[in-house]
Amino acid sequence: MRINKYIAQAGIASRRKADELIQNGNVKVNGAVMKEPGYDVAEGDKVEVNGRRVESAGKPEYVLINKPLGMVTTVSDDKDRLTVMEVVKDIDARLFPVGRLDYNTSGALIMTNDGDMAYRLTHPKHEVYKTYRARVAGVLSNEKVARLRKGVDIGGFVTSRAKVNIIKGNQHSTIVEISIHEGKNRQVRKMFAAVGNPVQELERIAIGEIRLGHLKPGHYRKLTRAEIEYLKNT
């Protein structure tokens, strides 16, 4: 297996980023700096990236989880909080989350050991839309919906066009679905705050065409072959 693919499948980086690591001298094989991106990793080779041993991830795995509230989207946590790894602890593969959901946001999160897939889903140029269902405070007027669809300033950054649909509402709160393809920190919350309707509850219900459906919080399912192909061709 070519060394850039080996690094990508270990979840370290995409193949493109792996090539950069190799060219910059950040990769060693059997203790020697490796600058040949075409090198084929042989059985028994010791591969290191930035001084850390890299083990082959083995067979690619693709999983959709429903992240509960009160869980962090990391592999480990120095504050001993529950991480999303708890949801997939019975899967015998070194998975990592693709992107992240806030501590107080629930819903759809893909976990994999495929670095190339992770790159495609998180890089803005691929414009993979993520859909959220939010309960926001107050009435979300047509004027505010138009602003969200056009793009709003969330503090030094103007968001791209969003897809926004009101589900229902009253004078106290509004339930709305919003789809964005960017992934700025707490972006959806900041967008609604920018139009004066702070988020009360937030759940991600879809990543591209892959929907959460009836998957219960704290549970996972493996992606279907069709879903995997869809993501690879996005």
Task: State the Cα–Cα distance between residues 198 and 192, nearest whole angstrom.
Answer: 6
Q: What value does the mean pLDDT of the chain take?
A: 92
SS3 breakdown of the chain: % helix, strand, coil, rounded to 5?
A: 25, 30, 45
Domain residue ranges of the chain, discontinuous segments joined by +: 3-54, 62-124+213-232, 129-207
CATH class of the region 129-207: alpha beta
**Residue 39 CB neighbours (<10 A):** 18
According to DSSP, residue 2 is labeled B
Q: What percentage of the chain carries pLDDT values higher than 90?
A: 69
Which of these ranges, 45-59, 123-137, 177-191, has the smallest mean pLDDT? 45-59
- For residues 163 and 117, the model is more confident at 163
Predicted TM-score (pTM) of the model is 0.81
- For residues 119 and 212, the model is more confident at 212
Cβ(114)–Cβ(94) under 8 Å? no
Name the CATH architecture for the domain at 62-124+213-232: 2-Layer Sandwich (3.30)
Query: How much is the pLDDT for 233?
Result: 84
Same fold, 3-54 and 129-207: no
If pLDDT is split at 50, 70 and 90, which confidence band does 196 have? very high
Query: How much is the pLDDT for 4?
Result: 87
Residue 107 bridge partners (DSSP): 67, 204
Report, as an integer, the average pLDDT of 172-200. 96
User: Which positions ≥6 away from 162 have C-beta within 8 Å?
Assistant: 148, 149, 151, 178, 179, 180, 191
Q: Which CATH superfamily is domain 3-54 in?
A: RNA-binding S4 domain (3.10.290.10)
**Residue 201 CB neighbours (<10 A):** 14
Is 58 strand, coil or helix?
Answer: coil
State pLDDT tens for residues 156-177: 899 999 999 999 999 999 999 9
- For residues 134 and 35, the model is more confident at 134
If pLDDT is split at 50, 70 and 90, which confidence band does 122 have? confident
Q: Evaluate if residue 105 carries a pLDDT over 70.
A: yes
Task: State the Cα–Cα distance between residues 81 and 5, nearest whole angstrom.
Answer: 32
Active site residues: 102
